[in-house]
Structure 1
């Protein structure tokens, strides 16, 4: 990075202006591929971005660090005003980048419901089922973060899509113990018996990550208590390994096989 890039990243208008007044190229890319405006947008420094646009006529078509254009980091900033500024200056979501994030992935990452609503209104044709490099849809990311973005499902997001690990949105929510999201997805028709690529289902995913209260609460949903994962684990084996007495007791009452041996 050059001093210009650092000043822009820090949102320091004065230093950025001083460096540019001394002849620095406003569009100079760092070794990593970032420019002054991409660093400023990523950090949400809207006043500095305005200065670069209005006073220095910065090139808004320059790619960002990951090969996307400026709208993706703008969405990640969660700042609707910044997004509107770039859209008003003709930046369009035509580049996805090496991680294959679309704008909805970015907005979900920012936990910004306002940004999501804005994007869905601005781009009604945007693909809610787009998958990033890991096969995750925006709904997967929302589930991981515990964001109950019901309107994603209402607009057509597919609750059954699997990522590269075989996780559905339901399993994504389970790995982080987000019980309200889990219940919402189940009520919307998510398959409670879905398993990942290692044949780990909802119960094992919850117990593996220490989400015992959620596992206990979901046992009443009719989950399979004797499912065996690829490595030979069962919910009872995991509960015993994690010292979770309450869930182990419930599993035994529901017919869990205490004679099963792990491979």
Structure 2
């Protein structure tokens, strides 16, 4: 009889533990699905149940980062209202929610993240690098916003690429012009020895290359004869 009770308890514990694992797995999947699909009601329900809102998925992405990346606005705004949510939680690539908002050109989201003390400056790739890579003219406003919040204009990535270089190769010529006017140094070189004008030429961005070349010419001191 004692053996029966023992095995019965083991069976009950195993069933309970297995059910708990299945429930937790379902909760985990629901959490990240809600972040991707902008399902605010599911996110609110999980929050009320005490789910850790800073949990990361197998790739190391937080729910806030996913929501910003996927354009899940309702979920992103809800998460930003939760004091426990870490707005600076970065994925293994070093990307933060602010960086992705900057890349997407989501000005309102960037403002809200900055209000929550998201870091505008950090070592390595920065939000300004990402903003400068946006191909639309609207990226000017994002760049201005970041500069207003003291983004370092000549921030260097791990290979010493600057925001101006990114704008020259990928971004809009208006952003190249703005960065130059705000003091970006067009003569800096990355680890490969390339300047911003080299980036523009490699990206076949003739307008940006011309803007940089004209700026450099204006800044050269005129000789006296």
Same fold by TM (over 0.5)?
yes
Given candidates 86, 105, 127, the residue that maps to 1:78 is 105
Contact 1:44 1:82 (8 Å CA) reproduced: no
Contact 1:69 1:95 (8 Å CA) reproduced: no
Given candidates 87, 90, 97, the residue that maps to 1:64 is 90
Given candidates 39, 42, 47, the residue that maps to 1:12 is 39
Tell me the distance in 1 between the aligned counterparts of 2:134 and 2:207.
Answer: 20
User: Is 2:189 aligned against 1:162?
Assistant: yes
Given candidates 120, 124, 131, the residue that maps to 1:107 is 131
User: Is 2:169 aligned against 1:144?
Assistant: yes
Query: Deviation per CA, 1:104-156, whole angstroms, max 9, x where unpaired?
Result: 10211234111001111222xx2211111232100111010252121211111
Listed as ranges, the matches of 1:213-252 within 5 Å are: none
Task: Assess, with a 3 A threshold, how the Cα gap between structure 1 residues 135 and 92 changes in structure 2: closer, same or farther.
Answer: closer
User: Is 2:168 aligned against 1:127?
Assistant: no
TM-score, normalization: structure 2?
Answer: 0.71
Task: Assess, with a 3 A threshold, how the Cα gap between structure 1 residues 109 and 5 changes in structure 2: closer, same or farther.
Answer: farther
Aligned residues: 184
Query: Deviation per CA, 1:197-254, whole angstroms, max 9, x where unpaired?
Result: xxxxxxxxxxxxxxxxxxxxxxxxxxxxxxxxxxxxxxxxxxxxxxxxxxxxxxxxxx
Task: Assess, with a 3 A threshold, how the Cα gap between structure 1 residues 181 and 86 changes in structure 2: closer, same or farther.
Answer: same
Greater relative contact order (Cα < 8 A, sep 6+): 2
Which entry has the higher C-alpha Rg, 1 or 2?
Answer: 2
Tell me the distance in 1 between the aligned counterparts of 2:206 and 2:95.
Answer: 34
- 3-state SS, counterpart of residue 2 of structure 1: helix
Structure 1 gap ranges (5+): 191-263
TM-score, normalization: structure 1?
Answer: 0.62
Contact 2:79 2:85 (8 Å CA) reproduced: no
- 3-state SS, counterpart of residue 216 of structure 2: coil
> Which has the larger helix fraction?
2
Alignment RMSD, CA only?
A: 2.3
Listed as ranges, the matches of 1:165-204 within 5 Å are: 165-189=192-216
Given candidates 141, 144, 168, the residue that maps to 1:117 is 144
Tell me the distance in 1 between the aligned counterparts of 2:87 and 2:108.
Answer: 19
Tell me the distance in 1 between the aligned counterparts of 2:32 and 2:120.
Answer: 24
